[in-house]
A and B are shown apart, each in its own frame.
Chain A
């Protein structure tokens, strides 16, 4: 009887733990948003791939470091474009279907993703080397949004645009994500000395973003913004490490 009560209590404790996790999020980010039209036509930042000692993954799971721009809506009204680096482990548990098809697992690769009213499309952009640093960028050009890496246009989407927010972005993000509240380690590294800060584009000039919101309190994530905006600043996911 006593053992049974202990078991029930343990289950209740575990469910409470799960409840906390459910109410939390697996994303960590800084963002700049507006409820009115803006002149924000792009966002970019240097993003450094984590070294081998700065990442660990348990299948099935994924991690992301990226920048993205949105129309300011969510759910079925959302339109968003993101560009960054993705680390994943899990056979055919690939995000959005098969984005990692044909690459080894675990795999780290560059990717672009569109959110088109809740329809998600992922584009594989090639394998990623450890510790490389690249300027990841999404920018509106001639009315459409495109992704770039180090200034190279990733023309995976030919007509991605929206009318909300005057056709510009109402949300700009520097973003880290973990897929399933699992054990793992990932350091999302932005900016850095001599690198490109987290910046917004007004159609003519890029300028460093200072007016950010966040980061939220997210399960497993620890932000380090001591060197924001022009030093290296990080979001680190670390669970069971």
Chain B
């Protein structure tokens, strides 16, 4: 019985593709650059486009977090 159960076990789990540390650091730097960009842009009056630009930057940050930090692909 015990052998039967063990036979069905997949000893190797679904293989994680380990991303290099460099990839995480690059995303981090990009996120920081976008943070500076969005705060900087907030002080420049480009109405009525301030809202749109701010949202584009926020979505760009969110996509990077989802794709790299949260391993969505």
A and B are partners in one complex rather than unrelated chains: no
- Residues of A near any B CB (own CB < 8 A): none
- Residues of B near any A CB (own CB < 8 A): none
